[in-house]
Each structure stands twice: as structure tokens, then as C-alpha cells.
Amino acid sequence: MSRPYRRRGFFDIFDEIDRMMEEMMRELMRGLEEGREEKRFRRGPFFYGMKITIGPDGVPRVERFGNLGMKEGRPLIREEIEPLVEVIERGDEVVVVADIPGVSKEDIDVEVKDREVIIRAQAEERKYYRRVELPSDVDPKSARATYKNGVLEVRIKRKEGERGHKVSVE
């Protein structure tokens, strides 16, 4: 006898996330053990997290960040950390906030294009890289960036039709 169809509830997404995290940790631990055995184990830090938001359409969105990932079913440890990023639309501007502790403002490179922001930072022991898609076209020349207490904030006016532009961090 077949089971009746059960409609997924809103909170079922958390069960799915929990299952994904457990699977990721099993694969990571297996890969680390194999790496130790083969003497190719890279020392940390290892950084991984998830941000869960509900989109305007009511659909939950899961965004991963950190330097751990999966490639071909195996754990992948990247040199660069993907920082946690928040994109906020306020009136006629788009604000991108990134958490990049452990670097100075001179170590940060921000590039703004039509619908994306590219953040690179490299200090002696830390490297960050993140490509952020923007919700609307922006004027790259209007971009202003500030960095304080490990938090980078990039403010960009909305406008269509402009090309990439380098931004100095204040």
C-alpha cells in the first residue's frame, strides 16, 4: 500500500539542513582522515557556516560561507574564506556588508560592476574572496566603502548601464 502524500511544512527545511550538515561533516572527517594518512593534510583554520533567509516569494534560501566545500563528493578546503555577506536595499542605494576580520583596510580590494561586487582581502595569515550578486543595476562610480572593526560596508547608488569601477576603502 502506498503512503499518502505529505505536504512539506515550513519547518521541514530545518530537518533538511540538519541532514545536509551531518552529511557534510561525515564527508569532511573522512577526507581529513584520508589526508592525514597520505601526509597531505593542511592545517586550519577551517571555517564553515550557513545563513538561512526567507525570500520575498516565501521560499527559504540557504547560503553557505567559509573555506570548506564539496567537490566531486569530497571535502574541499580552499585557501580563501568566503565571508558572510548581507545585501540590503535602502531607498536609492544598495548596501553590501561583509564580515572580514583580521585584515587592515590596505589589504582590501573592492571592485563594483553593473550587478556585482567583488571583495578580495589578503593579509599575512588570512585571505578572503567573495563575488556578490546585486539585486539591481548600480552606478559603480558612486560606490563608497568603509571598514571598521572587521566589517566592510560598501554603499552604491542604483543606476543602469555603468561598467566596473575600483573602490578605495576608507
Prediction pTM value:
0.64
Domain boundary among the residues 79, 102, 120 is at 79
Rg over CA atoms, the chain: 19
Is residue 166 domain-shared with residue 143, that is, in the same domain? yes
CA angle, 9 then 14 then 17, to 5°: 130
Domain that holds residue 15: 1-79
Give which of 108, 128, 152, 113 is closest to 45, Cα–Cα. 128
Q: What is the pLDDT of residues 53-92, one digit of tens each?
A: 777 777 777 777 777 666 676 666 777 888 889 999 888 8
Greater confidence (140 vs 114) lies with: 140
Is the model's pLDDT at 106 over the cut of 60? yes
> In angstroms, what CA-CA distances link 131 with 52, 83, 109, 112, 160?
18, 10, 12, 10, 19
Domain boundary among the residues 60, 79, 98 is at 79
Is residue 7 domain-shared with residue 38, that is, in the same domain? yes
What is the sign, positive or negative, of the torsion defined by CA atoms of 114, 119, 120, 123?
positive
Is the model's pLDDT at 161 over the cut of 50? no
Domain boundary among the residues 79, 95, 124 is at 79
Distance (Å, whole) CA 29 – CA 99:
27
Is residue 134 domain-shared with residue 89, that is, in the same domain? yes
